[in-house]
């Protein structure tokens, strides 16, 4: 299940105009990225976490969503923190393996922490957007940003049909598993190949039927839908703008 589906009660509660949510997202994102210190992204993470907790997201769920990108981030940051050299260097911790010295210095550690906090800030800004905006609001924003219709429609159709294919793959996998399809390495490879090919065939058949269904409802190469949103409140967007200026200014402080 997608993370935005799992916590979709937030989307039901926060019904402001999508553009207002987007301005806050931009404020948080720029506040996290255009920074020279860790204070600004830290404030973004704190601010968004408080917002989520206020809207009844549990602490456990908050930690779960924060932990999701952590594995990727830690692997990436580890390569920055870790220094491998043939010559000895000034370090907090260093060890020699063969001809090589491996360790980390104060500077590499500082850079690592800075990058991880910055990335967490940006990640939380994205969480803010996807957990508060349902897919149709994201679609509305993409259309307003004048993205080509083809890309927006591809985005909507992919989001819709990927759930069907995932469900089908899961059913197919379970049916294979119940018939001992994954009992050995070779049978697992064979079964996986069959699973992939059946998903591909299913997606082709599904695409064919979907096109017929679209034509039957007057599709002529353009998808147009009704747009109903809460009224846009300028005051809230001005608050978002001020927040962005404040976060960027805090980010420029030399601590």
Partner 1 sequence: MSYIQLEHISFEYPNQTLALDEVNLNIDKGQKVAVVGENGSGKSSLFLCLCGIHHAQTGRYILDGEEQKCKRKDRNKLFRKVGYVFQDPEVQLFASTVEKDISFGAINAGMKGEALQACMDEVMEMTQTHDLRKKPPHQLSYGQKKRVAIAGVLACKPEVLLLDEPFAWLDNQQKKNTIQVLDHLHEQNKTIIISTHDINFAYEWADKLVVMKEGRVLATGHPQGLLDNEDLLEKAGLEMPLILKLTKKLDLDIRPNTMEEFLRV
Residues that bind partner 1 (CB under 8 A): 5, 8, 12, 134-136, 139, 156-157, 159-161, 163-164, 206, 209-210, 212-220, 223-226, 228
| 42 in Cβ contact with 30 (< 8 Å) | no
Nearer to partner 1 (CB atom), residue 114 or residue 161: 161
- For residue 46, what is the DSSP state? H
Least distance CB 202 / partner 1 (angstroms): 11
Nearer to partner 1 (CB atom), residue 122 or residue 152: 152
Least distance CB 24 / partner 1 (angstroms): 21
Least distance CB 205 / partner 1 (angstroms): 9
Least distance CB 213 / partner 1 (angstroms): 4
172, two tokens? 């197919």
Nearer to partner 1 (CB atom), residue 163 or residue 197: 163
| 141 in Cβ contact with 18 (< 8 Å) | yes
Sign of the four-CA dihedral 133, 135, 141, 147? positive
d(CA 124, CA 132): 12
Nearer to partner 1 (CB atom), residue 175 or residue 188: 175
Least distance CB 132 / partner 1 (angstroms): 14
d(CA 69, CA 164): 25
Sign of the four-CA dihedral 179, 203, 165, 167? negative
Nearer to partner 1 (CB atom), residue 98 or residue 218: 218
Nearer to partner 1 (CB atom), residue 76 or residue 223: 223
Contacts made by residues 153-161, CB under 8 angstroms, sequence distance 24+: 153/223, 156/223, 159/135, 161/203, 161/206, 161/210
Least distance CB 12 / partner 1 (angstroms): 7
CA atoms within 13 A on the CB side of 7: 23
Least distance CB 162 / partner 1 (angstroms): 9
Sign of the four-CA dihedral 73, 4, 124, 248? positive
87, two tokens? 């010559």
Nearer to partner 1 (CB atom), residue 15 or residue 88: 15
What is the β-pairing status of strands 93-97 and 83-85? unpaired
């Amino acid at each position: 299940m997608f993370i935005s589906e799992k916590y979709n009660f937030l989307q039901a509660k926060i019904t402001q105009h999508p553009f207002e949510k987007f301005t806050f997202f931009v404020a948080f994102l720029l506040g996290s990225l255009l920074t020279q210190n860790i204070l600004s992204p830290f404030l973004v993470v704190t601010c968004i976490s408080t917002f989520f907790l206020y809207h009844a997201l549990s602490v456990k769920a908050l930690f779960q969503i924060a932990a999701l990108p952590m594995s990727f981030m830690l692997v990436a940051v580890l390569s920055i923190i870790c220094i491998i050299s043939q010559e000895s260097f000034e370090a907090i911790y260093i060890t020699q393996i063969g001809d090589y010295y491996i360790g980390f210095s104060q500077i590499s550690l500082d850079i690592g922490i800075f990058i991880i906090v910055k990335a967490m800030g940006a990640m939380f800004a994205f969480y803010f957007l996807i957990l508060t905006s349902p897919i149709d609001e994201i679609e509305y924003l993409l259309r307003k940003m004048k993205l080509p219709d083809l890309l927006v429609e591809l985005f909507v159709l992919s989001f819709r049909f990927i759930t069907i294919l995932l469900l089908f793959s899961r059913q197919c996998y379970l049916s294979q598993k119940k018939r001992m399809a994954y009992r050995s390495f070779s049978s697992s490879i064979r079964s996986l190949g069959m699973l992939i090919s059946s998903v591909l065939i299913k997606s082709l058949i599904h695409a064919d039927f979907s096109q017929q269904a679209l034509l039957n409802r007057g599709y002529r190469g353009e998808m147009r839908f009704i747009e109903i949103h809460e009224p846009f409140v300028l005051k809230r967007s001005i608050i978002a703008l001020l927040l962005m200026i404040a976060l960027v200014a805090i980010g420029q402080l030399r601590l």
